Amino acid sequence: MTVRHPHGGHGESRDLAVNPVFSREPLRVPRYAMPDGEMEPSTAYQVVHDELMLDGNARQNLATFVSTWAEPEARRLMDECAEKNMIDKDEYPQTAELEIRCVHMLARLWHAPDPRDAVGCSTTGSSEAAMLGGLALKRRWQERRRAEGRPTDRPNLVMGVNVQICWEKFADYFEVEPRYVPMEGDRYHLTPETAVELCDENTIGVVAVLGSTFDGSYEPVAGIAAALDDLQARTGLDIPVHVDAASGGMIAPFLDPDLHWDFRLPRVASINTSGHKYGLVMPGVGWALWRDREALPDSLVFHVNYLGGDMPTFALNFSRPGAQVVAQYYNFLRLGFDGYRRVQRTCRDVATRLAAEIARLGPFELITDGGDIPVFAFRVREDIDRFSVFDVSAALRERGWLVPAYTFPKNRTDLAVLRIVVRNGFSHDLADLLLDDLRRILPRLDKQSEPHRDADDAGGFAHGAETKNPRRPGRD
């Protein structure tokens, strides 16, 4: 990756001038080159610490799905485990054991047919878990096609255009043709009919999202599975489903126990979730599970012996921190089913109440109401021409609130929305403070003469910096 100097060629003149209060001698060190010598740890700490003050306040970041609060006990355990490498399973057998327990708990939570024989692993997040899920679909399809003596050179994956960027990456990096179902009218995610329409003999699977990045809605997983059952009955094509439950995998089991989206549907081959989203762990941990051994081709599992013992691994990284896995186990143990239900219930209550209050303000119209995952999107009413969602986003930023504004993808690029992600720790109280600020800025925005049409000219922050598809919602 090329990381360009943000200040062009003026690196020299842009040295860090360290405040003399922090160091005995006045000190200037280069900003973009390694300093020649050492400095005191306390001086270096102060320099880094001070610079980081300019980062936004994570708790007011309503763009991210990723945990910004953890109990002191979880933080202490993470600190105690900071030196443990997850891959050293022979050396840290108890950390490895906690990972296995988490996989078993998730297998039960998601109704795997035989949870005593759970198949799954931790990852750095849902992105890595999605790569692994996608690779398993691709390899299974290839092995079946080869056995049938058919070509394997044109695999495709069917999904809604609303998928998170990790699926675009999977398709690009692993050379699978992505088949995106576009949005249409007020349909903002995949539906059974639109999914089946794009399937053929080269389809390695369909990705269904439980908690769409764009608006927080659940895709109809059971309906998609039923439509694929019907496709198989008509044509013989047997196409598995992977559920991207990055957020919903930790919401639906607690709040919507009767919703069939998981391994209760025989067509669901694999599921991913982000432990660091509604699993309530600090970043980076995710989980990937398969319904049974058959769903994860053995040819993808590597066996390494250089750490002692024989260790099966299915992962993109080798080394990885163990602390997050330990924190996940702590959360499961500490909260239990009822504790998770209480936390998620509160998030949903805050989200649905905040959405309803925002709808009552007048100028806004809800796209979703926070009743699936506790995330909702809203737009500025069509007849309002004084200000745009980008103006609202920029104005909220003056008080430290980070509420992203972005346009929807194909065929609804005309639709621009704001999105709010309610996480553990975003209380009714904080929601009221946000509402007060919204009420305060609206009269001013209503008096401005020209609305801004995109984030750049509103001075808002750029989204989707990583994507080829400009301005998709928050990267996580």
- Residues at the interface with ligand PLP (CB under 6 A): 65, 125-127, 130, 164, 166, 209, 211, 213, 244, 246-247, 274, 286, 476
The least CB distance from residue 61 to ligand PLP, in Å, is 14
Spacing of C-alpha 442 from chain mean position: 31
**Cis peptide bond upstream of 459, omega within 30:** no
The least CB distance from residue 324 to ligand PLP, in Å, is 11
Q: Which is nearer to ligand PLP, 192 or 275 (CB)?
A: 275
Work out the burial of residue 297: count CB atoms within 10 Å of its CB; fewer than 13 is exposed, 13-18 middle, 19 or more buried. buried
Q: Which is nearer to ligand PLP, 365 or 466 (CB)?
A: 466
**Cis peptide bond upstream of 162, omega within 30:** no
Q: Which is nearer to ligand PLP, 65 or 401 (CB)?
A: 65
The least CB distance from residue 58 to ligand PLP, in Å, is 15
Q: Are 135 and 174 in contact (CB under 8 A)?
A: yes
Beta-bridge partner residues of 268: 241
The least CB distance from residue 12 to ligand PLP, in Å, is 37
Q: Which is nearer to ligand PLP, 243 or 265 (CB)?
A: 243
Question: Residue 181 phi/psi, 5° resolution?
Answer: -85, 120
The least CB distance from residue 60 to ligand PLP, in Å, is 19
DSSP symbols for 205-251: EEEEEBS-TTT-PBP-HHHHHHHHHHHHHHH-----EEEE-TTGGGT
Q: Which is nearer to ligand PLP, 43 or 123 (CB)?
A: 123
Which H helix or E strand runs over 390? helix 389-397
The least CB distance from residue 245 to ligand PLP, in Å, is 8
Nearest CA-CA partner of 238 in 144, 152, 151, 156: 144
The least CB distance from residue 127 to ligand PLP, in Å, is 3
Q: Which is nearer to ligand PLP, 27 or 209 (CB)?
A: 209
Q: Which is nearer to ligand PLP, 372 or 391 (CB)?
A: 372
Q: What's the CA gap between 324 and 263, in Å, rounded?
A: 25
Q: Which is nearer to ligand PLP, 119 or 285 (CB)?
A: 285
Cβ partners under 8 Å of residue 60, min gap 6: 400, 401, 402
The least CB distance from residue 67 to ligand PLP, in Å, is 11
Q: Are strands 177-181 and 156-160 parallel, antiparallel or unpaired?
A: parallel
Q: Are 11 and 17 in contact (CB under 8 A)?
A: no
Q: What's the CA gap between 137 and 131, in Å, rounded?
A: 10
